[in-house]
Amino acid sequence: MIEGAAASSHASAHHVYSVAAGDMADRQYRPRLTQLAGDGTLTMHKSHWQVWNRHKARGRGVGYLKNCNPDCGHSTDVRHVRMHLKAYRARARCGVEVFTRYREAFVRKPRRDVPRVHIAHIDHPACNA
């Protein structure tokens, strides 16, 4: 029993996780649903990963982008846009390897006020997991 636990711990030590929302409690490995914003305004659903290794993760899916008007909790305006996501620059944080850069690219611009491509920097995720 202990040997199995040690083996699974050893195997997971080589995984690089996504912390796109910036919180280690929400870290994910090859997720189908990717939280890209901590407030829930952007998620990528139906994620398919072509590459996921120690250097980068590259995938695509459907971005659900919320317009927080009048506020994020009451917004009903949600845009569904195909998108590509690249995660890279893996670093040790809170005892595990996580990607610290995310290139979020919409296939088409979802709204006038939203850039088609955005680079997110998650250098210091909250270590609360």
pLDDT digits (tens, 9 = 90+) for 96-125: 999 999 999 999 998 888 899 999 999 888
Are the CB atoms for 30 and 44 separated by under 8 Å?
no
Cα–Cα nearest to 61, from 25, 34, 27, 37:
34
Distance of CA 106 to the CA centre of its chain: 14
Using one digit for the tens of pLDDT, what is the confidence trace for 13-68?
579 999 988 888 889 999 999 988 877 788 999 999 999 999 999 999 999 998 87
Catalogue the E-assigned strands of the chain.
16-17, 34-35, 42-52, 56-66, 78-93, 96-106, 117-121
From the CB of residue 94, how many other CB atoms can be counted at a distance below 10 Å?
16
